[in-house]
With several copies, the nearest count.
Chain A
């Protein structure tokens, strides 16, 4: 969390300092196309991801490179990915949501109860989708209200929700796995469009929507403000509390969507769905360059973060590593990836700052630094 304490302060005076300097990848997008902007900022991550893929190809050859395998990776990434998008908003907004896994479970269970499925059978499977999303949204609302108005630490509030939601899911499902009966539902969601699985489309859609919302709308800009400096946001007339609630509802909604995706993928609703999902998503978001203290982060980074983790376990499986060895390797690779990311970032800063300073004055170059540069 305080990682960036160091940074922001650290940035006035660039100097040796315990706190990790955040890669510029975490600089909030201020205009600039997706490609030039976000990807550029996440260059280090991209490189790390590319390396990972190369390893995959070298070790598993076509088995890795095959379309099927790529789709497999994407399908797996989809569920975690959708939730991670919501999580990105919450974290940039200065919060954290530990309840996502439980909410996915609760939504999936609620949407697959006999009652719900009965109604769905009569009306349309959209009812199940609606139920899942609604349950997620409401749970998110509760999180948000408790945090924004009850002034509870987000960590505690959502931890409580984690326990409560899972318990509730178990009670509703009576700990049995609920089978999805509606074939149309399954056909729709487990199908493909243009050879790309529906789930992947959904992920793509959510990601793009998230990117626009974060970088191109007032809501997104205010999210950065609320997370970056809540008091300043308040003084600027932003209704911080209301906005915070909205963020958690958003996260809840993504959980609902993820629940639907899981239901399609597994044809079941279960109180065990999404176990430890919170850890996976937060990890993906943070490795994607979003600061846990809030105020900075990118959707693109998160997406790459998700891909890195899913690709990692895929490569492991392809290479038939013992799961213990996998764990160790995973740890090492994560560290390596982030370190690489930082070095690249640093390198990029060097180059950038050596030419036109202004945008990256972040390193605290004094006015006097480059007297020649005339004003625009």
Chain B
């Protein structure tokens, strides 16, 4: 903690209360941040973390409570006010303008201009520099942000925060869409910052990250601070978890059931599947009751494989069979009809009707079950939806709430609930635990395993290698659009997987840009 004077914290938030129609998101939260420290904010999904930092960013106006900046009380009436103080924020839901270029986004609201005219060249040079610093030179300043992957977009918003030379940078789950490599690179940047006396508020559900980077921890639960100033490295994980969840959870993976049916005829057969420019000749089979994990770096094509299997992308060659029957390529509805389900990776754009109630999002793919002659039984729908939300510990319990008003993690749970509800033969999960808290994670693992045990074939994509290894029976390592390995999970460990991934990299690509060479 580079030379911080504990007597006068950089930031003090006291008794912050924020109420939304029908919800008390924050009921008196306290937070104090020292200069040059990495202050970790922990809490379950829906605890109020993002709301708190939005108050700090001037995006939400608190109903009560005081905010002190370097000891002086301040009112953050709008985002501009916060920025002027030197508070930069990386929001959980990437708030970028898809239609604008990377450079435009980085400097949006702080455009430099001469005689009222923009200076694109200047902005672009500055942006290129920032991207290089983040180890992503391949993200060109001129590229349209909408064309980038979630990962790349995350990098853009990080660059955006860095460009502000802020005294305090708030990061709301920046690592959710990143893989280990990129997280490492992010941490390097964070260490530079703190060394320069910049304070960082870091939110994540990956506790091991907290260990690595954190200095102090504040835990909020149900909109109230339950602990603050805990030493990040010393506090045992169990304690943190019980503070967050109010119960003790063994953060472990469910037992593999032994009868992983090598003999049983596979439910899902994928042979020589290729999508030009994405991946080529991917073949694998999944037996009933088997969980197949797809490991690889961001951009390695895992999502594309799932999308191609699902019919969301039309493959150039190869075929997909479910229970021996060939699926019509590029026809999602047909795949769903055949009992395939995909929980996509980008919940907001690919999965959710944000304006609709929770229950409608959950039952959307299973409407047939609740309808007779096309007529729906809303009662039955809600009942079924409630079962799912309880199983996933989704809050709020009220399934009539609009999904838009849910916290990030809870939105992710809604996506899962949709496919858990529809009893699929084949379930494809892309980053299923992205942004989900520890408590819910273990529940999700248990549910997935339970599904498998009911004979469902599951394919899981995750950027967290431990998750893949822990959950899957068999692991497929993808790199550069090719299958690098197909081995039982028990025969692999984290390092082995990473090594494999590295092998897959095209010779010439430097270690810093692997998997991202655009």
Using a CB–CB distance below 8 Å, which chain A residues touch chain B?
1-2, 4-5, 7-9, 11-16, 27-28, 30-31, 212, 216-219, 221-222, 224-225, 227-229, 231-239, 295-296, 349-350, 352-353, 357-376
Within the complex, the shortest CB–CB distance from A145 to chain B, in Å, comes to 18
Summed over the interface, the residue pairs from A and B with CB atoms below 8 Å come to a total of: 376
Q: Which residues of B contact A372 (CB under 8 A)?
A: 506, 508, 517
Task: Decide: B348 and A225 in contact? CB cutoff 8 A.
Answer: no
Within the complex, the shortest CB–CB distance from B43 to chain A, in Å, comes to 11
CB within 8 A of A295: which of B98, B301, B481? B98
Task: Decide: A367 and B109 in contact? CB cutoff 8 A.
Answer: no
Task: Decide: B367 and A359 in contact? CB cutoff 8 A.
Answer: no
| Interface core residue of B117, B376, B480 (most chain A CB under 10 Å) | B376
Within the complex, the shortest CB–CB distance from B103 to chain A, in Å, comes to 8
Given contacts A358-B140, A361-B518, contact A366 B28 (CB under 8 A): yes
Determine if B70 is an interface residue (Cβ-Cβ < 8 Å).
Answer: no
Given contacts A235-B312, A366-B24, contact A224 B401 (CB under 8 A): no
Nearest to B504 among chain A residues (CB) is: A368
B360-380 contact mask (Cβ, 8 Å, vs A): 1 or 0 = 100011011001001110110
A291 CA / B200 CA spacing, docked (Å)? 39
Top 8 closest pairs, chain A to chain B, by CB:
A367-B299, A237-B336, A363-B395, A236-B109, A366-B27, A31-B378, A228-B353, A364-B23
A202 CA / B61 CA spacing, docked (Å)? 46
Determine if B236 is an interface residue (Cβ-Cβ < 8 Å).
Answer: no
Determine if B261 is an interface residue (Cβ-Cβ < 8 Å).
Answer: no
A235 CA / B378 CA spacing, docked (Å)? 22
CB within 8 A of A237: which of B100, B117, B120, B335? B335
Nearest to A242 among chain B residues (CB) is: B333
Within the complex, the shortest CB–CB distance from A108 to chain B, in Å, comes to 31
Task: Decide: B348 and A358 in contact? CB cutoff 8 A.
Answer: no
A255 CA / B450 CA spacing, docked (Å)? 52
Stretch of B76-84, B204-212, B252-260 contacting A (4+ beta carbons < 8 Å): B76-84
| B residues 214-262 touching A (CB-CB < 8 Å) | 221-224, 226, 245-247
| B residues 253-295 touching A (CB-CB < 8 Å) | 277-279
Task: Decide: A374 and B247 in contact? CB cutoff 8 A.
Answer: yes
A295 CA / B518 CA spacing, docked (Å)? 25
| Interface core residue of A229, A234, A364 (most chain B CB under 10 Å) | A364
Given contacts A28-B99, A237-B110, contact A231 B350 (CB under 8 A): yes
CB within 8 A of A296: which of B19, B110, B352, B355? B355
Q: Which residues of A contact B354 (CB under 8 A)?
A: 4, 7-8, 228-229
Nearest to B345 among chain A residues (CB) is: A12
Q: Which residues of A contact B502 (CB under 8 A)?
A: none
A231 CA / B97 CA spacing, docked (Å)? 9
A236 CA / B222 CA spacing, docked (Å)? 29
Task: Decide: B246 and A216 in contact? CB cutoff 8 A.
Answer: no
Q: Which residues of A contact B196 (CB under 8 A)?
A: none
Task: Decide: A366 and B301 in contact? CB cutoff 8 A.
Answer: yes
Query: Could you list 15 A-B pairs, sorted by A, with CB under 8 Å?
Result: A7-B355, A9-B350, A11-B147, A233-B108, A235-B89, A235-B95, A236-B418, A237-B110, A237-B333, A359-B143, A364-B24, A366-B222, A366-B223, A367-B149, A372-B506
Nearest to B368 among chain A residues (CB) is: A218
Task: Decide: A229 and B98 in contact? CB cutoff 8 A.
Answer: yes
Determine if B462 is an interface residue (Cβ-Cβ < 8 Å).
Answer: no
Task: Decide: A1 and B348 in contact? CB cutoff 8 A.
Answer: yes
Task: Decide: B355 and A228 in contact? CB cutoff 8 A.
Answer: yes
Given contacts A30-B357, A295-B356, A359-B398, contact A365 B222 (CB under 8 A): yes
CB within 8 A of B23: which of A2, A8, A15, A360? A360
Q: Which residues of A contact B109 (CB under 8 A)?
A: 222, 233, 236-238
Determine if B118 is an interface residue (Cβ-Cβ < 8 Å).
Answer: yes
CB within 8 A of B277: which of A12, A31, A365? A365
Nearest to A27 among chain B residues (CB) is: B144
A13 CA / B99 CA spacing, docked (Å)? 17
Task: Decide: A371 and B509 in contact? CB cutoff 8 A.
Answer: yes
CB within 8 A of A216: which of B80, B118, B221? B118
Q: Which residues of A contact B246 (CB under 8 A)?
A: 367, 373-374
Task: Decide: B418 and A296 in contact? CB cutoff 8 A.
Answer: no
Task: Decide: A12 and B349 in contact? CB cutoff 8 A.
Answer: yes
Q: Which residues of A contact B336 (CB under 8 A)?
A: 236-237
Within the complex, the shortest CB–CB distance from B343 to chain A, in Å, comes to 9
| B residues 369-421 touching A (CB-CB < 8 Å) | 371, 374-376, 378-379, 382, 390, 393, 395-398, 400-402, 404, 418
Beyond the given A237-B337, A366-B149, A366-B304, could you list 8 further A-B residue pairs with CB under 8 A, ordered by the A residue number? Answer: A7-B355, A15-B59, A218-B113, A218-B367, A237-B332, A358-B518, A369-B518, A375-B393
Task: Decide: B352 and A375 in contact? CB cutoff 8 A.
Answer: no
Q: Which residues of A contact B461 (CB under 8 A)?
A: none
Task: Decide: A359 and B346 in contact? CB cutoff 8 A.
Answer: no
A352 CA / B109 CA spacing, docked (Å)? 31
Task: Decide: A232 and B97 in contact? CB cutoff 8 A.
Answer: yes
Nearest to B61 among chain A residues (CB) is: A14
Q: Which residues of B contact A359 (CB under 8 A)?
A: 140, 142-144, 396-398
| Interface core residue of B23, B27, B100, B245 (most chain A CB under 10 Å) | B100
Nearest to A10 among chain B residues (CB) is: B355
Nearest to A372 among chain B residues (CB) is: B506
CB within 8 A of A363: which of B98, B118, B222, B314? B222
B480-518 contact mask (Cβ, 8 Å, vs A): 1 or 0 = 110000000000000000000000011011000101111
Nearest to B307 among chain A residues (CB) is: A13
Given contacts A8-B349, A16-B330, A228-B355, contact A221 B142 (CB under 8 A): no
A13 CA / B22 CA spacing, docked (Å)? 12
A221 CA / B505 CA spacing, docked (Å)? 38
Q: Which residues of A contact B19 (CB under 8 A)?
A: 353, 364
Within the complex, the shortest CB–CB distance from B361 to chain A, in Å, comes to 9
Task: Decide: B353 and A229 in contact? CB cutoff 8 A.
Answer: yes
Task: Decide: A362 and B517 in contact? CB cutoff 8 A.
Answer: no
| Interface core residue of B95, B104, B375, B379 (most chain A CB under 10 Å) | B95
Task: Decide: A367 and B108 in contact? CB cutoff 8 A.
Answer: no
Given contacts A28-B99, A359-B396, A367-B224, contact A216 B355 (CB under 8 A): no
